[in-house]
Structure formats: C-alpha cells, structure tokens
C-alpha cells in the first residue's frame, strides 16, 4: 500500500482504535489506584482487555495474535492510548517487549510455543541485568553460574528489576567465565522465580513507590535447557533485550507530557497567576520544549520507518525527554509551593505527571537514571553520533585497592 490508500488505512485504524477505547478504556482508574493491590488489579485487567481487543502486542510478528502491526500503525495505537489517558502497561511491559523480543530472536520454536502464549495469558517477566557493581558498566556482572551436569547453579544479587517482586520469570545475565574480555564470560538464562533459593525484595523508592526489586540468588538451579544462545554469548543476547523497544515508549510518554500540561495550567489559574509574566513565560517555554520533544520523538520514528536511523539518535530522544520531564515536574513543584511539601498519598502506576508534585519530581529521576543514565546518553551522543573520540581505557586500580 502506498500514498492515499495507506493514509486512508491508517485513518481507519485510528478511528477503530478511538472507538474501541471509548468503549473499553478504564475510567477513574487513578482514583482507584491508591494501593499496590489495586494497581496490580488495574494493570492485569487492562492488559487482559487489550489482549482481547488485539491491541496489547502490536509489535510482535504477525503469526502471534495481536501482532504484525507496522511501526506507523503502532504509532497510531500509542498516540490514541496517550490521548485516552489509559494506564500505561507497566506490569507487562518487560514481558511483551524485553522478554518476547529476546525469545523471538534467540529461543527455539518449542520454547517460543511454550512461553509466548503465557505472556498473553498474563505471565510476568522481569529483567535481571543490573547489580550493585554493574550499573552503567553492565559488562561487570558478577552473579556466578557454575555448570553441574545439566544444570547451572547460580549465586549472586540483581538490582533494579522492574516489577521483579510481582514477576514469574526473569531474564538473567550471569557470569560463567572470568577469562578474556568481561563481555565474553557472560551467559543468558531464563530463571523461574518460583525456584528454591530465589528471594525478591522490593526497593523502596524515595517517593514511596516500589516499582523495582532486588533479587538474591542462593544456589539457584537452572536447567541448561533454559539457556538462550551459547555459553559466553550472553552479551549478544542481552543486546537484543536492551534494543527491544526503541522509540514508541518515548513517543507515547512525550504525548502524555503534552496531554498533562493542563495540570500546570489549572494550578496557574487556581492561584490567579494568569497575569504573572514570570510564571506564564516559564510555562510557555516549557510548552515549547514539550512540543520539541514530541517533534524529535516523531522524527526519530519516521527515520526508523524510513530505515535511516543512526546510532545515537535514540539517545537524543531519551535525553530530550528526561530533561523536559525534569523541567515539567520542577515547574509543578514550584507552583505547588508549600502545599506540595505536605505528603499526600501517591497514585500507584499513575504515570510520570500525576499532580503530586514532590512525588512526580522525585519520580522523574527514573528517566534521568534508569535505562541508561543521562550521562551515558551524553557519552553515546558525543562519541557515536557526533563522532568525538572514545574514552581511553588506560586507567588502572592502584596497587592494593579494592
């Protein structure tokens, strides 16, 4: 399809999705999402509904139910989800993107036939990559897997597993060798979190939410058949996981940011500050910045569709969003004044801009730190996109230092 036929088809899809959302999108969910259990229920119900409607996994290959949507179609879907202000799929996000996309690329047909349908049925995956000493420097993973016959015996600690305390399965990056470059000793395993020796503890975030867990692995046995790729190939498999989602989430989040400008506007009006040039200017500047972030997310996706994406383009989008989100929440906090300094209960899974400004401001660090910190993004932009020289690796530990 091309030209007018394509435009018509996309317009048709937009109308179809908009109608479906009018009939099916949950209403008043933020008010209900005042506890963790309510949050989980809202997430599970909404995901099940999207699966039923065929909109949960548009990025999957066409052979799976709900899959086979083009990027242009996915874009429309996410724009409409943002417009309808539906709950973002936080609980199932790792499952449908990171887990599924890694399985599509590396798992056998039997493994896929077993695991993929379970994701649609609601099985939750988390990612076990980061560790206390492997954050920005991910290749530094130390969680150890010793092969004993047909099983790996795993010991170590994982950090920042999104939704890890609610998950059933985990994408696990472990060290099977200390020889050669750090990356070469890594292996990728699929861990059943119900296995003996696994302890998941939620991480208490500074704004009161618990969206991440730390996982303690104490002599956990994983069958060798649950390995993806060969032993020592873990780094390559992990790259598939990390690149499973690029573009659409930030497009959706930027659109949601634009859609949430009313929260700031309402505050300005409620305080009678419509004639306060200082605040009006800052609000105007922010809204232009939000528009630019939406435009750059849009351009990124268009370049991806056209096959002209460059290494580092995604980092520009992420950095642009993370800084704009920080500005957005900072302006909310400023407008919130002393009121914003009194604690009010957070909305679980309410999004990045809930109007609980101190909580939103603190939560905005999730985007300047997680998924590759702003500093890592700046390195990528400067070195990979602009072409400045790479950091020299000449630095060594002092004698006797830990």
Partner 1 sequence: MNMTRAEVQDAADKAFGQSDLAPDAAQSWALIAEMGWLMMGVPEELGGLGLGREAAGVIHQGVGKVLVPGPVLAQMLTIEALAAANDLPERDALIADAMAGEVMTASLAGGLDGADRLTCVPDADTASHVLHVTADRVALVPAEQFVVTYRIGWDKSRRLFDVTVEGPGLTLAEGDAACALADRIEALRLFCLAGDSLGGAEAALAMTVAYLETRQQFDRPLALFQALKHRVADMRTQLTAADALFWSRAQQADTDIIALGALKALACAVYRLVAEEAIQLHGGIGLTMEHPCHLFLKRAMLNCALGGDADHWDEQTGRAALAAAV
Positions 100 through 129 that interact with partner 1 (CB under 8 A): none
Taking CB under 8 A as the rule, does residue 250 contact partner 1?
Answer: no
How far is the C-alpha of 66 from the C-alpha of 70, rounded, in Å? 12
Find out whether 213 and 224 touch, Cβ atoms under 8 Å.
no
Taking CB under 8 A as the rule, does residue 274 contact partner 1?
Answer: yes
Coil/strand/helix, residue 8: helix
User: Is the Cβ of residue 61 or residue 284 nearer to partner 1 in the bound state?
Assistant: 284
Marked catalytic residue, from 211, 245, 252, 353: 245
User: Is the Cβ of residue 194 or residue 390 nearer to partner 1 in the bound state?
Assistant: 390
Q: List CB contacts of 129: < 8 A, sequence separation 6 or more.
A: 138, 141, 158, 171, 173, 238, 241
Taking CB under 8 A as the rule, does residue 268 contact partner 1?
Answer: yes
Taking CB under 8 A as the rule, does residue 383 contact partner 1?
Answer: yes
Tokens standing for residue 76: 């429309």
How far is the C-alpha of 370 from the C-alpha of 375, rounded, in Å? 11
How far is the C-alpha of 261 from the C-alpha of 386, rounded, in Å? 33
Chain Cα centroid distance, residue 115: 21
Binding piece for partner 1, criterion CB under 8 A, among 38-46, 197-205, 245-253, 281-289: 281-289
User: Is the Cβ of residue 142 or residue 258 nearer to partner 1 in the bound state?
Assistant: 258
Taking CB under 8 A as the rule, does residue 292 contact partner 1?
Answer: yes
40: enclosing H helix or E strand: helix 36-53
Q: List CB contacts of 57: < 8 A, sequence separation 6 or more.
A: 51, 64, 66, 67, 96, 100, 119, 120
Positions 307 through 326 that interact with partner 1 (CB under 8 A): 316, 319-320, 323
Q: Which of 287, 309, 326, 371 binds partner 1 (CB under 8 A)?
A: 287
Closest of 372, 246, 247, 262 to residue 328, by C-alpha: 262
220: enclosing H helix or E strand: strand 212-223
**Catalytic residue list contains 375:** no
Q: Tokens 């383009």 belong to which residue? A: 313
User: Is the Cβ of residue 48 or residue 261 nearer to partner 1 in the bound state?
Assistant: 261
Whole-number minimum distance, CB 42 to partner 1, in Å? 26
User: Is the Cβ of residue 207 or residue 289 nearer to partner 1 in the bound state?
Assistant: 289
Whole-number minimum distance, CB 73 to partner 1, in Å? 21
Closest of 183, 170, 182 to residue 129, by C-alpha: 170
Coil/strand/helix, residue 58: coil
Binding piece for partner 1, criterion CB under 8 A, among 134-142, 167-175, 181-189, 269-277: 269-277
- The footprint of partner 1 on this chain (CB under 8 A) covers a number of residues equal to 44
Whole-number minimum distance, CB 369 to partner 1, in Å? 15
Coil/strand/helix, residue 199: strand
Taking CB under 8 A as the rule, does residue 341 contact partner 1?
Answer: no
The residue ranges that bind partner 1 (CB under 8 A) are 261-262, 264-266, 268-269, 274, 277, 279-285, 287-289, 291-293, 295-296, 298-299, 316, 319-320, 323, 375, 377-379, 381-383, 385-389, 391-392
| Active-site annotation, residues | 245
């Amino acid at each position: 399809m091309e030209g007018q036929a394509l435009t018509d088809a996309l317009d048709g899809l937009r109308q179809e999705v908009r109608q479906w959302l009018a009939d099916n999108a949950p209403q008043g969910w933020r008010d209900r999402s005042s506890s963790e259990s309510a949050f989980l229920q809202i997430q599970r119900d909404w995901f099940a509904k999207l699966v039923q409607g065929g909109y949960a996994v548009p990025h999957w290959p066409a052979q799976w139910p709900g899959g086979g949507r083009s990027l242009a179609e996915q874009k429309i879907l996410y724009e409409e989800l943002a417009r309808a202000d539906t709950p973002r799929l936080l609980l199932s996000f790792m499952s449908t993107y990171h887990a599924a996309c890694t399985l599509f690329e590396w798992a056998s047909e039997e493994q896929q036939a077993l695991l993929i349908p379970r994701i649609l049925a609601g099985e939750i995956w988390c990612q076990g990559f980061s560790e206390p000493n492997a954050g920005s420097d991910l290749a530094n993973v130390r969680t150890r897997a010793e092969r004993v016959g047909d099983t790996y015996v795993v010991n170590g600690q994982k950090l920042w597993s999104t939704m890890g305390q609610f998950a059933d399965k985990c994408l696990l990056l472990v060290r099977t060798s200390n020889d050669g470059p750090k990356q070469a000793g890594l292996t990728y395993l699929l861990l059943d979190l119900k296995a003996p020796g696994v302890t998941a503890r939620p991480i208490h975030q500074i704004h009161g939410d618990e969206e991440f867990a730390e996982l303690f692995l104490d002599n956990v046995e994983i069958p060798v058949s649950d390995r993806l790729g060969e032993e020592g190939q873990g780094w390559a498999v992990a790259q598939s996981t990390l690149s499973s989602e690029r573009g659409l989430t930030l497009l959706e989040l930027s659109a949601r940011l634009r859609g949430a400008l009313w929260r700031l506007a309402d505050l300005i009006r409620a305080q009678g500050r419509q004639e306060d040039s200082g605040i009006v200017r800052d609000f105007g500047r922010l809204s232009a910045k939000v528009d630019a972030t939406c435009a750059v997310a849009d351009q990124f996706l268009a370049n991806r569709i056209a096959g002209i994406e460059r290494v580092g383009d995604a980092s520009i989008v992420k950095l642009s969003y993370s800084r704009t989100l920080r500005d957005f929440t900072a302006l909310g906090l400023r407008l919130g004044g002393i009121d914003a300094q009194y604690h009010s209960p957070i909305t679980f899974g309410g999004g990045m801009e809930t109007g609980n400004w101190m909580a939103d401001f603190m939560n905005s660090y999730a985007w300047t730190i997680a998924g590759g910190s702003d500093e890592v993004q700046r390195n990528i932009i400067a070195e990979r996109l602009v072409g400045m020289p790479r950091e020299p690796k000449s630095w060594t530990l002092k004698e006797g230092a830990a």
